[in-house]
């Protein structure tokens, strides 16, 4: 077999192998999409099939009316991006301090930071609820966000990245008359871009998925996030699961993100592939 | 010429004033604003209906504004309410799972409603509510809750499958013996011996032992302290008999899926019914609309087949008014509750959701009469109320409920024998209750 | 302002030293100021709650207000004697060891498989990553259907392969693995992205050299790829471990800790204790225990990561 043919065969088997696994991965979504188009009252024996005989938009109409998705999405965007923005500020300052500034107690403080590495504020719901209430931030987006403004994880990551910045560049910037903040902005942050992107992904995915904390903190859709909105579909305490409705609600929630991801996938993945994730 | 300093001060004062005005909120003078937590007990249209009803109330009551707060399912709503209470900001009124009575009393979270009831017609008004629903609304001679979205488990059966099996489709099996007999005829297996159709499915233990309590009541078991919620008796001979019957259905007659029943099973059972994978099921009356919409076969609903007697636990949520809220809030909350539970509104809720009618005069509203013509089974649960028993309402009800659930599951999985499982539940529960 | 190294005058020496004590002090103050925002939030929302939890753990604080009393280590004793707690520990360990290595290994394999140019790579990447975009509460609801016996997706489509499946979420043997599978499904594509990034850092020349020397695929992986992915692997391990301890939404939705406590893990047990049983003292004791475990893992991974860095540099 020629080299080319052999490569072609290998590529084909790769495509099939990975494709089969991808199909398994995507199967639940395919089913959800199919079910969301199935007309209400048709949860018959073909409930597991991917084929829809008489597609209908009725479920979407009903699901759309069930929860104010646009508002919830807006809130989620504000919460997730707001947390990220605040985190980027706090971790940049803290990481620089740990990486480049000498001050007494530095190591001790760093170890203190690490305490939070694995402890999310949501493990401490009750005390944090009381604090949020005392601050008068119940049922606000800020109330959901504020416990997360500091991030030991982000500080740790960024400190690693900052430590890898060549001193020469720092010195050059200083010679040029840059103060600390300017050096941070012009030298450190650009070089730490892959780390920042990696951290941003982690932060966004984590906070976007959070359910229990926003549920406890918020009362109304004024500040609620998409996860809590979905709950009104999925949390059926006394009745059977309305699969059509749940599926439609889920599709509504994931669709914008999926579209965004598909469109920007290349740029997004490649942008933090640049110098990769160095230590 | 305003100095820079003075300008800053003026600016600060202006901002403070604006902030304070903003903090006052959009509520006009003299309007009482109530926070009302409610669970979605059934998915989908419930939320919309509740919001519509609250909007109607707000529209017709100028001095009150109820803010409906969807709070998840019963567990989550209770968690949210208790968190708020313990954090010092209780809601004003909430629909909570009725048996949470003692958990709320222990936290001084709720107020007795006797005075409010007295001013609203007293015993005569209260008597219009079905007695069974009020059983666990009371303690120590006081009434603490008003029934709202209540239910009982009922027995759904597939008449087409009955006919196919040569059984009389006009009625459900009347007792446990008949249930086992019918189920044996209704359990179908394929050539390889795998079951394609189960005779009966009963989600006796998911996150709460609700359906199991029906069996306990029917077995004649006196399994908890109905006066003050301080003791339980899970290992009486009657209780053992009830659990053993379930296990027999699974292991001896093999007409019920084997193994533990758990949270997922609760959702699965009505699905199995409409898929015709189960010929007879126990499920809440709250599922009736779902079954009616999706079952493409002839079906009916009846009482849970009797043990020594007919019986079923009541279930669902009731209205509670919270403690430590201003007096005008209490009054407004009571106005809200009495409006929601008036026959017309209660009928509206019951028709739209499938929850049991909560008061006798509801049945005679024109809306309900029409509804009954289209959905005669809607009356089954109401009729069963006559033989219904009180749902287990005790201190630490959630924790003890979980103990009973894990005991049932342990017996079902074979990890413990029936007596050992119930003994363990009894031991653990008694230890927990010893402090009361 | 930033200049590339190529244009720097060669005469620039080491970092500017702070000569005077005054300068050093000002610099130190700057350090504290930079830390202040983070410390403020950490203090209010992490340290203070930890302290109040620790304090509360010494009290009997149950649903009954009247019972509130100082009981020292009583809650800890109760927890230690609680058979459910032992089950919870066992389940948590099983969950951690079952999901973390599997997901990380799988994500690495996926990254290796998708580290090439082909039209199908982009859609494949989407197929594996999208579960991360699905809120856990939505995903769990769908998986409830997947696991439904008889006509659920798992049984219907795998019947040809495995015959009649078990009652996945209700069989004490299969319930936890079933939930672990959902976790793996959700996270593998997410960690895969980090590995894809990491793979980009390995210069093609190294692979060329290996190829020229006749190294096989496995050998190349073992001696080049995997070692150079060290930092990425540790990063992913840390995130995966955090996830293993902190994402309990799927348990909340799918099994509520059952059947018979076989899917009850530490954080879920804490939620159960605090929000369903309202035994706040015991919940606080369990929280303190969880914190101790987490901090131990954090300390361990920190040490490993530090050592890794020195190795790299």
| pLDDT tens digits, B276-299 | 999 999 998 888 878 888 888 999
Token pair for B292: 């009616």
Interchain pair C194, A198: CB under 8 A: yes
Distance from CA of residue A183 to its chain's centroid? 29
- Which one is predicted more confidently, A201 or C263? C263
Q: Identify the H or E element spanning C162.
A: helix C153-162
Distance from CA of A59 to the nearest CA of B (A): 10
Domain boundaries, chain C: 2-56, 74-308
Q: Which residues of C touch A167 (CB under 8 A)?
A: 14-15
Most A CBs within 10 A among C28, C108, C118, C137, hence the mutation to make, goes to C137
pLDDT at A42: 66
Is residue A237 over pLDDT 60? no
Token pair for C247: 């994402």
Interchain pair B89, A133: CB under 8 A: yes
Residue B422 in any domain: the answer is yes
pLDDT at A269: 64
pLDDT at B327: 94
Contact between A124 and C50 under an 8 Å Cβ cutoff? The reply is yes
Interchain pair B399, C149: CB under 8 A: no
Contact between C76 and C158 under an 8 Å Cβ cutoff? The reply is no
Token pair for C169: 């979420």
Contact between B66 and B32 under an 8 Å Cβ cutoff? The reply is no
Task: Establish if B83 touches chain A: CB-CB under 8 angstroms.
Answer: yes
Which CATH number characterizes residue B320's domain?
A: 3.40.190.10
Distance from CA of C310 to the nearest CA of B (A): 47
Distance from CA of A10 to the nearest CA of B (A): 41
Residues A175-202 as b or e (16 or more Cβ within 10 Å = b): eeebebeebbbbbbbebbebbbbbbbbb
C51 phi and psi, to 5 degrees? Answer: -65, -45
As for how many domains chain B has, the answer is 2
Give the count of Cβ contacts less than 8 A between chain A and B.
Answer: 111
From the options 3.50.50.60, 3.40.640.10, 3.40.50.720, 1.10.3720.10, give the CATH code of C74-308: 1.10.3720.10
**Per-10-residue mean pLDDT, chain B, length 436:** 43 41 46 91 68 94 92 86 86 95 92 94 92 92 94 94 94 94 94 89 91 95 92 95 96 93 86 92 86 89 94 94 95 96 93 87 91 86 91 93 94 93 95 88
pLDDT at A268: 64
Q: Which residues of A touch B316 (CB under 8 A)?
A: 238
pLDDT at B310: 94
- The residue of chain B nearest to residue C255, with distances taken between CA atoms, is B263
Domains along chain A?
3-60 (no CATH), 63-275 (1.10.3720.10)
Contact between B305 and B178 under an 8 Å Cβ cutoff? The reply is yes
Residue B61 in any domain: the answer is yes
Mean pLDDT over A145-172 rounds to 89
pLDDT at C17: 60
Max distance between CA atoms of chain C, in angstroms, equals: 79
Interchain pair B413, C260: CB under 8 A: yes
pLDDT at B409: 94
pLDDT at A239: 52
- pLDDT classification of A143: cutoffs 50, 70, 90: very high
Q: List the one residue out of B303, B346, B56, B310 whose CA is nearest residue B156.
A: B303
Distance CA A36, CA A60 (A): 7
Q: How far is CA B323 from CA A16, B89, B94, in A?
A: 64, 10, 12
Whether B294 and B410 map to the same domain: the answer is yes
For A1-31, how does the pLDDT look when each residue is reduced to its tens digit (9 = 90+)?
A: 677 888 888 888 889 999 999 999 999 999 9
For C242-285, how does the pLDDT look when each residue is reduced to its tens digit (9 = 90+)?
A: 888 887 888 888 888 878 899 999 989 998 888 888 888 899 99
Q: Which residues of A touch B276 (CB under 8 A)?
A: 45
Give this prediction's pTM. 0.84
Contact between B72 and B287 under an 8 Å Cβ cutoff? The reply is no
Q: Please, how many CA atoms are within 13 Å of residue B193, restricted to the half-sphere of its CB?
A: 1
Whether B275 and B142 map to the same domain: the answer is no
pLDDT at C163: 63
Q: Which of B263, B399, B435 sits opposite C277 (nearest CB)?
A: B399
Distance CA C63, CA C95 (A): 30
Q: Which of C63, C255, C280 sits opposite B396 (nearest CB)?
A: C63
Average predicted confidence (pLDDT) for chain C = 83
Most C CBs within 10 A among B73, B83, B105, B263, hence the mutation to make, goes to B263
Whether B369 and B420 map to the same domain: the answer is no
Q: Which of C16, C142, C294 sits opposite A250 (nearest CB)?
A: C142
Q: List the one residue out of C247, C242, C272, C246 whose CA is nearest residue C257.
A: C272
Is residue A271 over pLDDT 80? no
Q: Is B96 helix (H, G, I), strand (E, B) or coil?
A: strand
Which residues of A touch chain B, with CB atoms under 8 Å apart? 40-45, 47, 62, 65-67, 125-126, 129-130, 133, 138, 215-216, 219-220, 231-242, 245-246
Q: Could you give the ipTM of this predicted complex? A: 0.84
Distance from CA of residue C162 to its chain's centroid? 31
State the Cα torsion B358-B359-B361-B363 to the nearest 10°. Answer: 30
Which residue range forms the structural domain that includes residue B362?
A: 31-151+315-385
Interchain pair A240, B271: CB under 8 A: yes
pLDDT at B16: 40
Interchain pair C63, B106: CB under 8 A: yes
Residue B22 in any domain: the answer is no
The residue ranges of chain C whose pLDDT is under 50 are: 1-16, 310-313
- A-facing residues of B in 259-278 (CB < 8 A) are 267, 269-271, 274-276
Q: Count Cβ atoms below 10 Å from residue C304 Cβ, excluding itself.
A: 14
What percent of chain A stands above pLDDT 70?
Answer: 88
Whether B160 and B137 map to the same domain: the answer is no
Q: Which residues of B touch A242 (CB under 8 A)?
A: 43-44, 290
Whether B161 and B223 map to the same domain: the answer is yes
- Which one is predicted more confidently, A279 or C76? C76
Q: Which of A41, A129, A234 sits opposite B293 (nearest CB)?
A: A41
pLDDT at B322: 97
For C87-128, how does the pLDDT look when each residue is reduced to its tens digit (9 = 90+)?
A: 999 999 999 999 999 999 999 999 999 988 888 888 898 899
Residue B6 in any domain: the answer is no
Q: How far is CA C122 from CA A26, A175, A260, C190, C191, in A?
A: 14, 45, 13, 14, 16
Whether B187 and B296 map to the same domain: the answer is yes
Residue B366 in any domain: the answer is yes
Residue B15 in any domain: the answer is no
Residue B423 in any domain: the answer is yes
- pLDDT classification of A122: cutoffs 50, 70, 90: low
Whether B399 and B409 map to the same domain: the answer is yes
- Which one is predicted more confidently, A241 or B194? B194
Interchain pair B262, C258: CB under 8 A: yes
State the Cα torsion C155-C159-C165-C170 to the nearest 10°. Answer: 0
């Amino acid at each position: 077999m020629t080299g080319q043919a052999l490569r072609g065969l290998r590529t084909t088997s790769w495509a099939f192998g990975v494709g089969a696994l991808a199909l398994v991965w995507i199967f639940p979504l395919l089913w959800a999409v199919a079910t969301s188009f199935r007309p209400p009252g048709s949860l018959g024996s073909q409930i597991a099939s991917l084929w829809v005989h008489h597609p209908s938009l009725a479920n979407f109409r009903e699901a759309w009316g069930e929860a104010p998705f646009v508002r919830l999405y807006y809130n989620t965007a504000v919460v997730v991006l707001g947390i990220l923005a605040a985190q980027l500020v706090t971790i940049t300052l803290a990481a620089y301090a740990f990486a480049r500034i000498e001050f007494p107690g530095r190591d001790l403080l760093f170890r203190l930071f690490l305490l939070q590495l694995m402890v999310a504020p949501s493990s401490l719901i009750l005390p944090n609820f009381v604090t949020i209430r005392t601050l008068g931030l119940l049922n606000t987006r800020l109330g959901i966000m504020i416990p997360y403004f500091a991030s030991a994880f982000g500080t740790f990551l960024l400190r690693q990245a900052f430590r890898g910045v060549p001193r020469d560049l720092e010195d050059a910037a200083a010679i040029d008359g840059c103060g600390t903040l300017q050096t941070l902005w012009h030298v450190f942050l650009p070089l730490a871009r892959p780390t920042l992107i990696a951290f941003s992904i982690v932060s966004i995915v984590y906070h976007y998925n959070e359910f229990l904390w926003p549920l406890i903190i918020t009362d109304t859709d004024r500040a609620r996030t998409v996860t809590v909105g979905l709950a009104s579909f999925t949390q059926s305490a006394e009745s059977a699961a309305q699969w059509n409705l749940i599926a439609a609600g889920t599709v509504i929630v994931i669709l914008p993100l999926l579209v965004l991801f598909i469109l920007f996938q290349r740029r997004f993945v490649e942008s933090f592939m640049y110098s990769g994730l160095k230590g | 010429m305003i100095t820079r300093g003075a300008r800053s001060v003026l600016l600060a004062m202006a901002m403070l004033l604006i902030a304070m005005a903003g903090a006052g909120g959009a509520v006009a003078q003299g309007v009482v604003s109530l926070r009302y937590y409610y669970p979605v007990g059934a998915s989908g249209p419930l939320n919309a209906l509740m919001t519509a009803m609250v909007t109607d109330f707000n529209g017709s009551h100028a001095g009150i504004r109820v803010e409906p707060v969807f709070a998840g399912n019963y567990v989550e709503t209770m968690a949210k309410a208790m968190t708020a209470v313990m954090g010092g900001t209780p809601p004003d009124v909430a629909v909570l799972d009725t048996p949470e009575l003692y958990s709320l009393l222990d936290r001084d979270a709720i107020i007795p409603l006797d005075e409010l009831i007295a001013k609203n017609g007293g015993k005569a008004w209260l008597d219009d509510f079905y007695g069974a629903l009020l059983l666990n609304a009371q303690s120590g001679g006081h009434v603490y809750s008003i029934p709202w979205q209540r239910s009982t488990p009922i027995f759904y059966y597939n008449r087409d499958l009955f006919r196919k099996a040569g059984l009389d489709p006009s009625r459900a099996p009347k007792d446990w013996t008949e249930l086992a007999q019918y189920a044996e005829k209704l359990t179908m297996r394929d050539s390889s011996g795998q079951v394609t159709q189960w005779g009966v499915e009963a989600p006796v233990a998911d996150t709460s032992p609700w359906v199991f309590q029906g069996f306990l009541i029917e077995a004649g078991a006196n399994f908890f302290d109905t006066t003050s919620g301080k003791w339980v008796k899970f290992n009486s001979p009657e209780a053992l008999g009830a659990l053993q019957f379930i296990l027999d259905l699974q292991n001896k007659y093999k007409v019920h899926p084997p193994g533990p029943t758990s949270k997922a099973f609760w959702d699965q059972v009505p699905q199995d019914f409409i898929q015709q994978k189960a010929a007879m099921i126990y499920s809440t009356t709250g599922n009736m609309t779902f079954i009616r919409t999706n079952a493409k076969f002839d079906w009916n609903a009846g009482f849970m087949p009797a043990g020594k007697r007919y019986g079923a636990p009541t279930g669902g949520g009731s209205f509670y008014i919270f403690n430590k809220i201003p007096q005008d809030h209490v009054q407004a909350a009571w106005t809200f509750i009495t409006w929601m539970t008036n026959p017309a509104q209660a009928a509206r809720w019951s028709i739209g959701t499938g929850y049991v009618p909560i008061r006798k005069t509801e049945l005679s509203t024109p809306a309900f009469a029409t509804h009954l013509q289209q959905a005669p089974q809607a009356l089954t649960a109401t009729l069963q109320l006559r033989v219904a028993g009180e749902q287990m309402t005790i201190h630490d009800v959630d924790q003890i409920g979980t103990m009973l659930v894990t005991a049932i599951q342990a017996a079902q999985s074979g990890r413990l024998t029936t007596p050992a499982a119930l003994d363990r539940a009894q031991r653990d529960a008694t230890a927990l209750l010893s402090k009361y | 302002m930033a200049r590339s190294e190529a244009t720097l005058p060669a005469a620039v020496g080491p970092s500017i030293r702070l000569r005077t004590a005054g300068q050093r002090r000002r610099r130190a103050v700057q350090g504290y100021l930079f830390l202040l925002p983070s410390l403020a939030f950490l203090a209010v929302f992490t340290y203070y709650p930890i302290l109040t939890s620790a304090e509360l753990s010494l009290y009997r604080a149950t649903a009954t207000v009247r019972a509130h009393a100082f009981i020292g280590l009583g809650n800890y004793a109760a927890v230690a004697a609680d058979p459910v707690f032992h089950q919870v520990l066992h389940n948590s360990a099983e969950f951690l060891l079952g999901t973390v290595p599997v997901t990380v290994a799988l994500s690495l394999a996926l990254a290796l498989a998708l580290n090439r140019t082909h039209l199908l790579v982009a859609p494949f990447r989407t197929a594996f990553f999208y579960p991360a975009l699905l809120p856990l509460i939505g995903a769990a609801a769908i998986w409830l259907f997947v696991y439904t016996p008889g006509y659920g997706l798992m049984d219907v489509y795998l019947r040809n392969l495995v015959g009649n499946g078990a009652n996945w979420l209700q069989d004490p043997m299969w319930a936890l693995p079933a939930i672990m599978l959902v976790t793996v499904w959700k996270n593998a594509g997410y960690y895969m992205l980090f590995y894809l990034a990491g793979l980009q850092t390995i210069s093609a020349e190294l692979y060329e050299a290996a190829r020229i020397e006749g190294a096989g695929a496995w050998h190349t992986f073992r001696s080049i790829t995997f070692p150079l992915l060290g930092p990425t692997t540790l990063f992913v391990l840390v995130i995966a471990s955090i996830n293993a301890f902190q994402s309990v939404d799927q348990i909340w939705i799918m099994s509520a800790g059952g059947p018979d406590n076989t899917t009850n893990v530490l954080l879920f047990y804490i939620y159960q204790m605090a929000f369903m049983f309202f035994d706040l003292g015991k919940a606080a004791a369990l929280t303190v225990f969880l914190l101790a475990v987490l901090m131990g893992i954090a300390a361990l991974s920190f040490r490993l990561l530090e050592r890794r860095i020195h190795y790299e540099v």
